[in-house]
Amino acid sequence: MDFQLTDEQQMIQAAARDFARDEIAPIAHEFDASGEFPLETIQRMGELGLMGIEVPESYGGSGLDTIGYTLAMMEVSAADAAHGTIMSVNNSLFCNGILKHGTEDQKQKYVRAIATGDEIGAYALTEPASGSDAANMKSRAVLSDDGSHYVINARKSWITSGPVARYLVLFAMTDPEAGARGVSAFIIDAEKEGFHRGKLEPKLGIRASATCEIELTDYKCPVEDRLGDEGQGFKIAMGVLDAGRIGIAAQAVGIAQAAYEASVEYAKERKAFGQEIGTFQMIQAKLADMKTRLEAARLLTLKAAWAKMKAMETGSRFTLDGSMAKLFASEAAMWITHQAVQIHGGMGYSKEMPVERYFRDAKITEIYEGTSEIQRMVIARTETGLR
């Protein structure tokens, strides 16, 4: 057992921290208030290699490992969780799946564009009537008579980066009778006919991350843009989410870290009853519990990243580690940001301090990429075999 980071891991952590502190943190409040998509910083993140951290250099990425990705996600999300969301979709949900299941052409064409940040990627699984029950989708893909393309009719909800994405990995039924085994995955080009974006979703938090509904009407997807085999789509979707959930756990750790640091600073400055509030035992107890949960969340997240790296060598699954990390880190972030607002008193409720944003941003980590209830279900099923 060795908790020492490698030189490469420390390098990406430091690079992400410097960039996040110098270029993201100063604009986070403004973009949260306006809800505008932060295109300029996202493009800069692409130039720095933050949009395809685990993607091999031969496909335009940084060629680093999952721990490096996880550390960078923590740093970016500590400055602004919305940037973290956009980064995680490009890295985990878009590039990972194509790297694992894609053809050489798909990797060259699509992974390169997204890993370099030249284009934005998205992942479209959820539908208006199926979120947690993802296999119960209504979207359909029908193979043309000449076998050259699929005709896809789909309606997908809550698509992160939907308003700006060029390419999406989208899931639709090719065999509706077969349930989860009838789902297939496709790579969609937003510039093709039949692709429509819905209105922007107004959100509680991660407001600079743009979200909308996506509709495909008689969209023609060439067979060579199907990802993996017909009927393998649900397993691809779940495998991608196993990795994605580690990124969301890291996002939660980043938000919680920022809330903890702001609280320590405030506790040392703010005075009540003639002394710094940080000298009151009740405030110290909050800080101690915040720090302990933060470190537990960080460890579980890094352990999951390590488990994914081991699993890549052996071909085994790391579902349990990813779900436990996401469940614990997201609930820790919600609790820690709640305490942070309390420590700041009235100022914790003010838009003039960042803690109210951390509190709003933390909530999404308990919902997307599988709610806490779904993580508990996955953990219990995987660990006990019970259904």
Q: Which residues bind ligand FAD (CB under 6 A)?
A: 89, 122-126, 131-132, 158-160, 203, 211, 364, 367-371, 373-374, 377
Least distance to ligand CAA, CB of residue 352, Å = 29
Q: What are residue 167's DSSP bridge partners?
A: 121, 189
Q: Which stretch binds ligand CAA (CB under 6 A): 68-76, 167-175, 212-220, 365-373?
A: 365-373
The reply to whether 369 sits near ligand CAA by the rule CB under 6 A is: yes
Q: Strands 211-222 and 167-173: what pairing?
A: unpaired
Cβ proximity to ligand CAA: between 41 and 330 the closer is 330
Catalytic site residue from 213, 230, 331, 369: 369
How many Å apart are CA 16 and CA 87, to the nearest integer?
12
Whose CB is nearest to ligand CAA?
368
Least distance to ligand FAD, CB of residue 89, Å = 6
Count CB atoms within 10 A of the CB of residue 180: 16
Cβ proximity to ligand CAA: between 61 and 244 the closer is 244
Residue 235 binds which entry of ligand FAD, ligand CAA, none, with Cβ cut-offs from 5 to 8 Å by kind?
Answer: ligand CAA
Residue 135 binds which entry of ligand CAA, ligand FAD, none, with Cβ cut-offs from 5 to 8 Å by kind?
Answer: ligand CAA
Cβ proximity to ligand FAD: between 245 and 286 the closer is 245
DSSP 8-state class, residue 179: G
169: enclosing H helix or E strand: strand 167-173
Residue 111 binds which entry of ligand FAD, ligand CAA, none, with Cβ cut-offs from 5 to 8 Å by kind?
Answer: none
The reply to whether 94 sits near ligand CAA by the rule CB under 6 A is: no
Whether 276 is a known active-site residue: answer no
122: enclosing H helix or E strand: strand 121-124
Contact 78, 259 (CB under 8 A): no
Least distance to ligand FAD, CB of residue 133, Å = 6
Token pair of 152 as six digits: 């896809």
Contact 320, 333 (CB under 8 A): no
Count CB atoms within 10 A of the CB of residue 243: 27
Least distance to ligand CAA, CB of residue 69, Å = 15
Cβ proximity to ligand FAD: between 270 and 381 the closer is 381
Cβ proximity to ligand FAD: between 86 and 283 the closer is 86
How many Å apart are CA 364 and CA 351, to the nearest integer?
19
Least distance to ligand CAA, CB of residue 318, Å = 9
Q: How buried is 370 (Cβ within 10 angstroms: 0-12 exposed, 13-18 middle, 19+ buried)?
A: buried
Cβ proximity to ligand FAD: between 125 and 208 the closer is 125
Q: Which amino acid is at 195?
A: F
Q: Which stretch binds ligand CAA (CB under 6 A): 18-26, 166-174, 235-243, 328-336?
A: 235-243
The reply to whether 319 sits near ligand CAA by the rule CB under 6 A is: yes
Whose CB is nearest to ligand FAD?
131
HEC readout, 204-223 = CCCCCCCEEEEEEEEEEEEH
* C-alpha neighbours within 13 Å on the C-beta side of residue 301: 33
Cβ proximity to ligand CAA: between 93 and 267 the closer is 93
How many Å apart are CA 293 and CA 91, to the nearest integer?
26
User: What does the per-residue mask of binding to ligand CAA show for 236-275, with x meaning CB under 6 A?
Assistant: --xx-xx---------------------------------
Q: How buried is 280 (Cβ within 10 angstroms: 0-12 exposed, 13-18 middle, 19+ buried)?
A: middle
DSSP 8-state class, residue 191: T
User: ∠ CA(194), CA(203), CA(329), 5° rounding?
Assistant: 110
User: What does the per-residue mask of binding to ligand CAA show for 118-137, with x meaning CB under 6 A?
Assistant: -----x-xx-----x-xx--
Residues with active-site annotation? 369
